[in-house]
Structure 1
């Protein structure tokens, strides 16, 4: 797995946990997924993953 995958999974889990606090886990998962993809795009540069 790549670092960018862990970023996405982490945000999905955090979003689900926050969503459970408000009794809407699925909405939290979707928001976490969106934020995870945005952060993944920031990690990637020129189509290659930064491993530094």
Structure 2
């Protein structure tokens, strides 16, 4: 997947569980990486 090479791109959101790139956003704050949870991982957590 091409998104994997964009990890250092400014405004990248990465799943903190599986480290998949979830999304990219236009950032005005200079933050390169945010961590969240992708739908796959957040769905698995709810079942526990």
Q: TM-score, normalised by structure 2?
A: 0.26
Structure with greater helix percent: 1
Structure with greater strand percent: 2
Structure label with greater radius of gyration: 1
